[in-house]
Structure 1
Amino acid sequence: MGIEYDYIIAGAGAAGLSLAWQMLHSPLKDKKVLIIDKDLKLQDDKTWCFWHSGEPPFQKLIHKRWSRVEVESAEGYITQSLQRYPYYALKSYDFEKKIIAAIKKNPSFHLLESPIQKLSSDPDSKKAYLHTPENILETSYIFQSCFDPFKIHKSNVRYPLRQHFLGWDIKINTSIFNSDVFTLMDFDHSFTGGVAFTYVLPWTSKTALLEYTIFSENIIAQEKYEEKLSAYLSNRYGLEPDDYQIERKEYGVIPMEDRPALPWYKPRIMNIGTQGGVTKPSTGYTFMRIQNQVKNIVEGLIEDNRPLIYSPSKFRFKAYDLWLLHIIYNSPKEATTIFKQLFQNNKMDEVFCFLNEDSILSEDLQIMSSVPYRPFLKAIWKSKKRLREIGRK
């Protein structure tokens, strides 16, 4: 019917390139694989961060590592050491450059810059098809991160929250930042339309990435983020616009919804990354869960030529996420209080262990008992039907 490949990766973002990298370092390296995206130009427009116990993935590409974190707690700012879960930042430009260069060195792997018109499949022939303006490309499996799953629409989502942010990479002439400590959440109490905070990643004493971040349903105008960042730099560090240069901007919108995770777009077409429900709803963190998903896919293809379905969360963690989404959506001020109490009453290693879903039930109960219980009792009652729906997925 058209040009044939063993596998096609539709989308060259974090998920698609992570899958290509995993294939390149496996027995699948000799398969005929296509990586297609509408734009393959390298762009320095994203910073991916994660905490991790043990050796991090893409260790040689890590832009910065921190072992101390600052948060705003119920009693003001606190700084803690991270002994088990250091925090890492990785630049999308470095990541894309490394993996695309590796793809180009392998004659079995091919890159194609082209719009993707649609994806289709034929279960009887066990084939999937990717349609471009010029060709129909044929394969046994497509792994896609370009399109929303067909069954996802507004009626599937009870709490349509999004994490949206704008960040500035700035440079100043004097040493102000403590490059050993990053700020995870410095809350903006003047914002009423959701949970809002500033996130600070100091690269050096004179350079940093600052992001104004909101958990809410509605997106604000870009100039509003910039006004908040300018005010934060003035109030926290005494910096006026003439004191710093904005060297780069990045903007993002990440779903924090209670949408079900749907592994298949169509037969033989698997959803990966955020489109596959990999993003953790209550935090928006995705990168490490992508790495787990692509490992599962490759393991399945090697064993019996069928990708393994990755289930990112056990049922109890789905419940915790749903309850917190309910609180953020309906009572953002209560959600801010919960975050502050969480940081005040626990070690950050314990918090990261819990958010990473590495904790055992007794540790979960300890975390839950450290925050106000009334909002959670209300959330448990109000979302019980929704939890049953999600639990069946």
Structure 2
Amino acid sequence: MKKYDFIIAGGGMAGLSLAYHLSQSPLRDRSILILDKEDKKQNDRTWCFWEEGEGPFESILFRKWQTVEFHGTGFAGPLDLGNYQYKMLRGIDFYDHVRSHLAQFPNIEFRQATINRVKETPQGGFVIANDEPYMATYVFDSTFPLDLKDPDRHNLLQHFKGWVITTQKPCFDTGRPRMMDFRTDQRGDCRFVYVLPFNETTALVEYTIFNERLLPEADYEQALKQYIANFLDTGSYQISETEYGVIPMSDVPTKERPSKHIVRIGTAGGHTKPSTGYTFQRTQRAMQAIVRSLVTRGKPRRRPSWLRKRFKLYDSILLNVLEQNRYPADDMFTRLYEDNPPTKIFKFLDEDTSLGEEFRIINSMPKKPFTIALLHVLWRRAF
């Protein structure tokens, strides 16, 4: 049985990102095996994220914007993103680009296989895929499922359905996407719509919900039809693509390093932001940090400071407010964007803010529901 330096179990966004960053490092000549059950030839998802300056995948961005629209309950208008840009990357473009780049390296192998098991052994990380055994010094696993049934934690879901529509009338402002539009029936949840324009007659319109339960397919479609009818002057329109997804918004503790030779990455490694569901940029940062550690220390160990744990507390408090319906979500996000510059909000969500900046953002939130949420979170953790 051949032993690899690295096995990447799961060739989705996290796994391919790790392989890409390894290929850009002094470790580019290490033997790497990437295992995934799919061939990644479908445009199965779209990632949107904010970023300062240019990132490693700038050349394959589908769209990027300097200004976005927000529609809340008592505040609406364009948001100037300052030094940030809001970026859109299609899954198929990412897969094609990274796999084409990695194909230049004969030491990197791809195998399409279903991963049956990942386990620790004294000799290294051990993987069984399609009933075949594989061994590596380190296994990077993005397939480990989160436990979303822990009653002592918050286990919400971000679920969405989107249509790429082509309209009879030119009705989209190509320079101004709608990032969050709360002009849809909230039904006691947090519900909003994204509108990401490709050109004046084509856009992705996506209906998004934060709660604990998925909807029947017809409910997503009805909400999309209603929003388009009420807020987009399309004339007739045709649906050319459909996307659907579910992202965990959970503060269940994750172990990025469950054992000596196994490292979990992506959502499995805790790289999804619990309070927003954003994963792409956080995963890039995590993968780059892991590669730096491998290069400098020979081990894939990130060591965030203990002070950064405060952001996990912030996430839990917001999840508690949403889970317990302590304050209307549309009003809460309206206050957030009305009272704070978008640049500060993005910096806060990227966990790059100082304590003073965090205090000013937290102070703009309604005091009573967030104080009750804080006490509830602390009580849950204590008992």
Q: Under a length normalisation based on structure 2, what TM-score does the superposition of the two structures give? A: 0.95
Q: Report the equivalent of 2:243.
A: 250
When residues 246 and 333 of structure 1 are mapped into structure 2, their CA distance, relative to the original with a 3 A threshold, is farther
2:330 is the alignment partner of 1:336: yes
What is the 5 A alignment of 1:142-221?
142-148=139-145, 152=147, 154-155=149-150, 158-221=153-216
Find 1:346's aligned residue among 327, 340, 345. 340
Q: Would you say the 8 A contact 2:125–2:136 is kept in 1?
A: yes
Residue identity opposite 1:219 in structure 2: L
When residues 133 and 195 of structure 1 are mapped into structure 2, their CA distance, relative to the original with a 3 A threshold, is same
Deviation at 1:42, TM superposition (A): 1.2
The alignment partner of 1:203 has SS state of: strand
Deviation at 1:70, TM superposition (A): 0.9
Deviation at 1:314, TM superposition (A): 1.3
CA distance in 2, matches of 1:352, 1:94: 25
Structure 2 residues not aligned, in runs of 5+: none
What is the 5 A alignment of 1:49-64?
49-64=48-63
Q: Report the equivalent of 1:43.
A: 42
When residues 268 and 282 of structure 1 are mapped into structure 2, their CA distance, relative to the original with a 3 A threshold, is same
Q: Report the equivalent of 2:302.
A: 309
Q: Report the equivalent of 1:100.
A: 99
The alignment partner of 2:155 has SS state of: coil
CA distance in 1, matches of 2:274, 2:76: 26
When residues 317 and 198 of structure 1 are mapped into structure 2, their CA distance, relative to the original with a 3 A threshold, is same
Residue identity opposite 1:218 in structure 2: R
Deviation at 1:199, TM superposition (A): 0.9
Q: Aligned pair count?
A: 382
Q: Report the equivalent of 2:349.
A: 355
Deviation at 1:385, TM superposition (A): 3.1
Deviation at 1:286, TM superposition (A): 0.8
Residue identity opposite 2:208 in structure 1: T
Deviation at 1:388, TM superposition (A): 6.0
When residues 225 and 75 of structure 1 are mapped into structure 2, their CA distance, relative to the original with a 3 A threshold, is same
CA RMSD in angstroms, aligned pairs only: 1.9
CA distance in 2, matches of 1:204, 1:157: 46
When residues 310 and 210 of structure 1 are mapped into structure 2, their CA distance, relative to the original with a 3 A threshold, is farther
The alignment partner of 1:381 has SS state of: helix
Residue identity opposite 2:207 in structure 1: Y
The alignment partner of 2:205 has SS state of: strand
Identical pairs, percent = 36
Q: Report the equivalent of 1:373.
A: 367
When residues 156 and 85 of structure 1 are mapped into structure 2, their CA distance, relative to the original with a 3 A threshold, is farther
Q: Report the equivalent of 1:263.
A: 256
Deviation at 1:262, TM superposition (A): 1.1
Q: Would you say the 8 A contact 1:258–1:322 is kept in 2?
A: yes
Q: Would you say the 8 A contact 2:165–2:238 is kept in 1?
A: yes
Residue identity opposite 1:171 in structure 2: T
Deviation at 1:186, TM superposition (A): 1.0
Q: Would you say the 8 A contact 1:159–1:329 is kept in 2?
A: yes
Q: Under a length normalisation based on structure 1, what TM-score does the superposition of the two structures give? A: 0.92
Deviation at 1:25, TM superposition (A): 1.0
Is 360-369 or 319-328 further displaced after alignment?
360-369
Q: Would you say the 8 A contact 1:194–1:332 is kept in 2?
A: no
Residue identity opposite 1:306 in structure 2: K
When residues 332 and 100 of structure 1 are mapped into structure 2, their CA distance, relative to the original with a 3 A threshold, is farther
Structure 1 residues not aligned, in runs of 5+: none
The alignment partner of 1:291 has SS state of: helix
Q: Would you say the 8 A contact 1:179–1:205 is kept in 2?
A: yes
CA distance in 2, matches of 1:74, 1:365: 24
Is 175-184 or 353-362 further displaced after alignment?
353-362
Q: Report the equivalent of 2:72.
A: 73
- 1:260-315 deviation per Cα after TM superposition (whole angstroms, max 9, x unaligned): 13113444111101110111111111111111111121112222321023659812
